[in-house]
Amino acid sequence: MITVKDIANKLGVSPSTVTRALANSSRISPKTKQLVHRTAAEMGYVPNAAAKTMRGKESSLIGLLIPDIENNFYAQIAKAFSEVCNSHDFQLTLAVSDDNPAIEERHIRQLVAARCAGIAIVPTATLTQHSVALLSSRNTAQLIRRNSALNTDWYGIDDVAALRSATNCLLDLNHQRIGLVCGEPALNSGSARYQGYLSALQERNVPIDPALIMRGPPRTHFAQAATNRLRMLSHPPSAIIAAGAGLSEGMLNAVATWSKDDQNAFSLIGYSDSSAFSWWGGSGLTAIALPIHQIAADLCNKLIQLAQDKESKFAQPEDTLYGSHLILRGSVRPYKDISGSVP
Amino acid sequence: MITVKDIANKLGVSPSTVTRALANSSRISPKTKQLVHRTAAEMGYVPNAAAKTMRGKESSLIGLLIPDIENNFYAQIAKAFSEVCNSHDFQLTLAVSDDNPAIEERHIRQLVAARCAGIAIVPTATLTQHSVALLSSRNTAQLIRRNSALNTDWYGIDDVAALRSATNCLLDLNHQRIGLVCGEPALNSGSARYQGYLSALQERNVPIDPALIMRGPPRTHFAQAATNRLRMLSHPPSAIIAAGAGLSEGMLNAVATWSKDDQNAFSLIGYSDSSAFSWWGGSGLTAIALPIHQIAADLCNKLIQLAQDKESKFAQPEDTLYGSHLILRGSVRPYKDISGSVP
DNA sequence: TTTTGTAGTGCAAACGTTTGCACTAAACTA
DNA sequence: TAGTTTAGTGCAAACGTTTGCACTACAAAA
C-alpha cells in the first residue's frame, strides 16, 4: 500500500509537505499542492485510518448497537445512521446484541477498542457492570430505551402519549377489554408504554384486567406466545396492542397462524409503522407511527458534533422526546358485542 | 485511556512482558501472566485496535456494502454478518450505497482506508473505475450480484432455476400472460432471472409478449411504477412476478393502492421470502425463498478465512451457487378466463 | 569446573500519520 | 546595508502495540 512517504520520495519532498498538501494547509505553495494531489491520485494513495487514529486519539467510527437488525424499526435507524455518517465522512460500525447482555458487552468492548468517536446504543434492560464501566468515559448516547445506569443523552419517544392515544382510539370504538403485549418493567420503554395504556383506561373508568396485560422481554418469541395466550383466554380481549417493534412482529406472526374468523375477531394495533404494515391482511395494520428516521439522524448528528466540539463534551446529558401519531388502517374495527346480552 | 505501558509501569515490568502475558505467550511464567491479567482488568485496560492495525497491516473490520438496509433481504444479510463477525472477534462496518455508484465509491474508499480484513459487496451495475481499482488488491467477495470487472469470489443464487420454477408454477395454473418486473440487463442477477422466465415460457411454447416484461433499475420506485403500468395495459397480465427483493417491495407498494377487485385479479410472486410476506393480504404472498442467511454466513466465513490464511490468498476466485424453493401462499390462484370466449 | 541449554524478561524498532519547532531564502522596512 | 518579516519546507517526535533479538540467571550435562 502506498504511504505518504512513498509520495514524498517520488517527489523529492518530505512527508510533512505531502500531508500538509493533502490537508490543504495554507502554508504550502499552490504548485506543490497540485503536484502532490496529482501524484497521490496517480499512485492510488489511500490514507491509513489506523495511523490517523493513533495520532488523533479517536477513530472516525460511529458505533451503533441495537438488539436486532431484521426488524424494520431498527433497520430504519441503521439507514439514518448510515446516511448521516456518510455525509460527515464518518464510518458506521453495526453491532447486534440480540438483547443478550453478554453479547452486548462483547460488542461494547470492541467498540471501545476501536476508539469510536461516538457510540449509540439501544441498551438491554440489564446492562452488565462491565458494559457500564466501559461506556462511562466515552462519547455515548442512548436511543429509544434508557438505562439509568448510563449517564448519557437519551433520544426517545413520548411513549406514555403514544400508548394513551392508541388505547383511546380503541376505547372510542367501544372496545373495553384491550390486551396489551408490553416490555418488562425493567425497560423504561416498557414502563412508559404500560403507563400510557393504564392512564387511558383509568381516565375513562374502564376496569383494568391484569389477565389482559402481558409483560415480558422485548422479543418476538415472547410476543408471539403472549398473543396466543390472549386469544385462548376464557374471557378474551376484543383488541390487542403490541407496544414495541419486536413485539409487533411477534403478534403478527401469531395472528398469521389463526383462522380467518379469529383474525377478524380481534382489532390490532402495532408499534412503529413500516411499509409492510400497509400491506398487512389486505386492509392494513393500524400502527403507532414514529419519526424514527429523524430521531436516529438527530442522535447521530449530536454524537458527531460532540466528537468534534471539545467544549460541549462537559454539558449535562439531556433527554429529547419525540411525538408519534396513529395511522388508522383496517385492522381496527368498532367493537360489536356478539354475546347477545345487549341489543 | 490505559495502555500496556501503564500496566507495565505499575507492575515494574516491561511493556513486552505485558503484551506477551495478555496474548498468553508460552514464554511468560504463569505467575506473571496471572498478575498482568488481574492488573489489566483492575485498571480497565482496553487494547487500542488502531495500534494493533498499524503493526499488523490489517484491521479486524469486515466491510459489508449493500444497496439498502431497510429491505428485509439485506437486513438478513447484515444479521448473518454480524453473527459471524462476532463469533470470530471481527467487527462489522456497514455501508449503504443506495445503488448509487458515487456513494458506493465513497464507501469503498473508506473501507480501504480502514484497511478492512475483508470486504463483501453487492455491487451496483456500474461500479466506477476508481471503485474497481480500489478493490483490486484487497480481500473482496461479491454477493448476489456479480460485476465482471471485479475478479473475486461470488456467492449467489441460481436465479435461472429460481425464476423458471416461479414461472412454471404460474403456467401450471394456466396463466399464460405473466408480467415480469426485473432488473436491468447490466445486472447479472437481472439477466439470469430474465433468462429463467424466458426459458420456462419457451419450453411450453407460450408466446412471449415484450409488453409484459419491465426491466429497469433494481429500485423500489421503478418496480412500483412498472407494476402500475402492467395493470393499466390494454391486455394486462393475469399474474406478476417481481424478480428482486427491492422490486418485490415496489410491487407490493403498488398493489396496496389498488382496489380490492384489482388486487384479486392478479396472481403475485415475490422474490426472497420474509416473514412479512406470510402476513401479506390475509392469505400471504407466494415467494421464492432463498437460503440468504446461509449464503451470507458462508461468504463472511470465507472472507475471514482468507484474511487469516495467507496462502489461500492466491487461489482462483470461485463462484458458489445456491438453490431456492417456492413457498406457495394465497397470492397465487389458478387462472380463470373471465372473457367468456371459452367455457 | 566449564560448557551448554533453557526459562523468563527487556530493548528497541517498526507500523503511517501529524504537528510543533526550526530552518532557509527571499522580500520587505528603516 | 542591516535588520525584520514571511513563505515554504524539513526534522523529529509521538501515538500504542508487537516482535526479533539479546540478555541474565540458573539448571543440567560433561
- Residue B211: predicted pLDDT: 98
DSSP string, B263-291: HHH-EEEEES--HHHHHBTTT--EEEE--
Q: Residue-wise over A44-59: b if at least 16 C-beta within 10 A, else e? A: ebbbbbbbebbeeebb
CB B77 within 8 A of CB B292: yes
CB of B55 lies under 7 Å from some atom of strand D: yes
Q: Residue-wise over A119-148: b if at least 16 C-beta within 10 A, else e? A: bbbbbbbebbebbbebbeebbbbbbbbbbe
Strands (E), A54-212: 61-66, 91-96, 118-121, 140-143, 153-157, 178-183
Q: What residue has cell string 448510563?
A: A150
Strand partners, B174: none
Q: Give mean pLDDT, residues A130-134.
A: 97
Cα–Cα distance, B287 to B277 (Å, whole number): 8
- Residue B26: predicted pLDDT: 87
CB A307 within 8 A of CB A139: yes
Provide the residue type at A334 as one letter.
P
CB of B14 lies under 7 Å from some atom of strand C: yes
- List the one residue out of A2, A52, A40 whose CA is nearest residue B53: A52
Is residue A340's pLDDT more than 70? no
- CB-CB: which of B59, B86, B113 is closest to A47? B113
Cα–Cα distance, A21 to A33 (Å, whole number): 5
CB of A55 lies under 7 Å from some atom of strand C: yes
Q: Give mean pLDDT, residues A308-332.
A: 90
- Residue B338: predicted pLDDT: 61
Cα–Cα distance, A197 to A165 (Å, whole number): 8
- Residue A131: predicted pLDDT: 98
Q: Does A283 or B76 have the greater pLDDT score?
A: B76
Over the stretch B138-148, which tens digit does the pLDDT of each residue have?
A: 999 999 999 99
Edge-first strand order for the sheet with B178-183 is B213-216, B178-183, B239-243, B267-271, B286-289, B325-327
- Residue A314: predicted pLDDT: 72
CA A139 from chain centre, in angstroms, equals 17
Q: Give mean pLDDT, residues B291-305.
A: 97
Q: Give mean pLDDT, residues B184-199.
A: 97
Residue B332, helix vs strand vs coil? coil
Q: Cβ contact (<8 Å) for A93 and B44?
A: no
Reported confidence tier of residue B131, pLDDT bands at 50, 70, 90? very high
- Length B323 CA → C15 C1' (Å): 45
CB B136 within 8 A of CB B149: no
Cα–Cα distance, B119 to B143 (Å, whole number): 10
Q: Cβ contact (<8 Å) for B70 and A54?
A: no
Q: What residue has cell string 403472549?
A: A226
Is residue B341's pLDDT more than 70? no
Q: Which residues have C-beta within 8 Å of that of residue A216, sequence separation ≥ 6?
A: A182, A183, A184, A222, A223, A226
- Cα B205–B207–B212 angle (5° rounding)? 135
CA B328 from chain centre, in angstroms, equals 23
Q: Cβ contact (<8 Å) for B50 and A50?
A: yes
Mean pLDDT of chain B: 95
Alpha helices in B12-71 (DSSP H): 15-22, 30-43, 49-56
- CB-CB: which of A47, A79, A282 is closest to B282? A282
As to burial, measured by CB atoms within 10 angstroms (0-12 exposed, 13-18 middle, 19+ buried), residue A101 is middle
Cα–Cα distance, A266 to A255 (Å, whole number): 9
Reported confidence tier of residue A339, pLDDT bands at 50, 70, 90? low
- Quote the cell numbers at residue B183: 432488473
Is residue B312's pLDDT more than 80? no
Is residue B249's pLDDT more than 70? yes
At residue A157, what are phi and psi to the nearest 5 degrees? -100, 145
Reported confidence tier of residue B282, pLDDT bands at 50, 70, 90? confident
- Residue A341: predicted pLDDT: 44
Provide the residue type at B208 as one letter.
I
Cα–Cα distance, B28 to B30 (Å, whole number): 6
Residue A112, helix vs strand vs coil? helix
Reported confidence tier of residue B309, pLDDT bands at 50, 70, 90? confident
| B95: closest CA of chain A, how far (Å) | 7
Q: Cβ contact (<8 Å) for A92 and B91?
A: no
DSSP state of A242: E
Mutate to test the interface with B, among A57, A65, A96 (most CBs of B within 10 A): A96
CB of A9 lies under 7 Å from some atom of strand D: no
Cα–Cα distance, B172 to B157 (Å, whole number): 23
Over the stretch A145-199, which tens digit does the pLDDT of each residue have?
A: 999 999 999 999 999 999 999 999 999 999 999 999 999 999 999 999 999 999 9
- Residue B287: predicted pLDDT: 98
- List the one residue out of A286, A230, A224, A269 whose CA is nearest residue A251: A224
Reported confidence tier of residue B340, pLDDT bands at 50, 70, 90? very low
Reported confidence tier of residue A255, pLDDT bands at 50, 70, 90? very high
Cα–Cα distance, A335 to A238 (Å, whole number): 7
- Quote the cell numbers at residue B245: 427483493
Cα–Cα distance, B267 to B276 (Å, whole number): 18
Q: Give mean pLDDT, residues B95-110.
A: 98
Q: Cβ contact (<8 Å) for A284 and B256?
A: yes
Over the stretch B201-245, which tens digit does the pLDDT of each residue have?
A: 999 999 999 999 999 999 999 999 999 999 999 999 999 999 999
Is residue B298's pLDDT more than 80? yes
Is residue B342's pLDDT more than 60? no
Element containing residue B180 per DSSP (H, E): strand B178-183
Q: Which nt has its C1' nearest the CA of A45?
A: C16
CB atoms within 10 A of CB B41: 10
Element containing residue A48 per DSSP (H, E): none
Strand partners, B243: B182
As to burial, measured by CB atoms within 10 angstroms (0-12 exposed, 13-18 middle, 19+ buried), residue A331 is buried
Q: For chain D, which bases have at least one atom within 7 A of a protein Cβ?
A: 7-12, 14-20
Cα–Cα distance, A108 to B82 (Å, whole number): 14
Q: Cβ contact (<8 Å) for A86 and B103?
A: yes
- Length A54 CA → D13 C1' (Å): 14
Maximum alpha-carbon separation in chain A: 96
